[in-house]
Amino acid sequence: MCEAFSGIIDENGTVFWKFGMDSHEDIVSHFGLRDTDKNNFARFEVVPRNGNYIFPDTWEFKLDEKAKPLWWKPKYYIPLCMAEKDAWVRRLGKIIAKKEIKNPFTEIIPPKKIAKKHMDLLEKWAICWDLVRASVWASVRDSAGATVWASVWASAWASAGASVGASVRDSVGDSAWASVGASVRASVGDSVGAQCGSLFNLPRKDWKYTEKIKTKGYPFQSTVDLWEIGLVPSFDGKKWRLHGGKDAKILWEGEL
């Protein structure tokens, strides 16, 4: 699998890459490159050792070839590739926020009472939640590449998503989970996906499949706002719930 910063370098030291394009073969095709029996160009990747593109640690260079080209001189070519990686990182920094997604159950105190403003946010989320998977995945993939999106999702799930999902499951209870668990799990997963999408600063027009959502900003901001005040929505196919607090207590439940 190609990584987020993938590129091609030729024998002359020219580096080819395109933001949002992870595949070496796509890069070769995009720039109309032609490999020859002399192996006049080489595929490479530069990746963070920790796999985290929001908070990378050490960047590592990898030559992605079965055999090193005869012309390959690491001391000359690797710095050229790393300089282009720096340009790619600067480009990524313009559209992605350097922040971690908080766990609303352990890091935020929820409101004592569910008010109209909370219900308004829930109603907005109820209209668009089923668009998240297709929209966020396609929009971020086309803008920053599939690898960046996978890294952000993995980081969010490890820091908050898995814990939130487990807490909601315990709150709903075993008997209800047996019949509606799949729906609840999907709705919470979509909520996590919406948090991930909020980390990307894309133009409104670049959020795919959201033409019917009437907003000038991020189309799934309603659930982001709920999370940031300590409320996580879930849906079982019929009833909506708002969970909050350390035990993911159900603070509101009903049909919209």
User: 91 or 186: which carries more pLDDT confidence?
Assistant: 91
Contact present, 114 and 242 (Cβ < 8 Å): yes
- In tens, the pLDDT along 28-61 reads 999 998 876 567 899 999 999 988 888 999 999 9
- The band of 74, judged by pLDDT with boundaries at 50, 70 and 90, is very high
Q: Report the pLDDT value the prediction gives residue 172, as an integer from 0 to 100.
A: 67
75 burial level (CB within 10 Å; 0-12, 13-18, 19+): exposed
- Angle in degrees, 0-180, between the axes of helices 221-228 and 116-128, rounded to the nearest 10: 140
The pLDDT of 195-205, averaged and rounded, is: 94
Rounded mean pLDDT, 244-251: 90
Give the integer Cα–Cα distance in Å for 110 and 97.
Answer: 24
Sorted by where each begins, the domain ranges of the chain are 6-93, 104-254
pLDDT band with cut points at 50, 70 and 90 for residue 1 = low
3-state secondary structure of 19: coil
State the pLDDT at residue 180. Answer: 46
Chain centroid, CA 72 distance in Å: 35
Cα separation, 95 vs 143, in Å, equals: 9
Q: Cβ(159)–Cβ(101) under 8 Å?
A: yes
Q: CA dist 246 to 77, 107, 158, 196, 209, Å?
A: 52, 9, 18, 22, 35
Q: What is the pLDDT of residues 110-139, one digit of tens each?
A: 999 999 999 999 999 999 999 998 999 999
Rounded CA separation 137/188 (Å): 16
pLDDT, tens digit, 9 for 90 and up, residues 221-236: 999 999 999 999 998 8
What pLDDT shows up at residue 175?
Answer: 47
Looking at every residue in the chain, the average pLDDT score rounds to 88
pLDDT digits (tens, 9 = 90+) for 136-190: 999 998 888 888 888 888 888 887 777 887 888 777 665 455 544 567 778 888 9
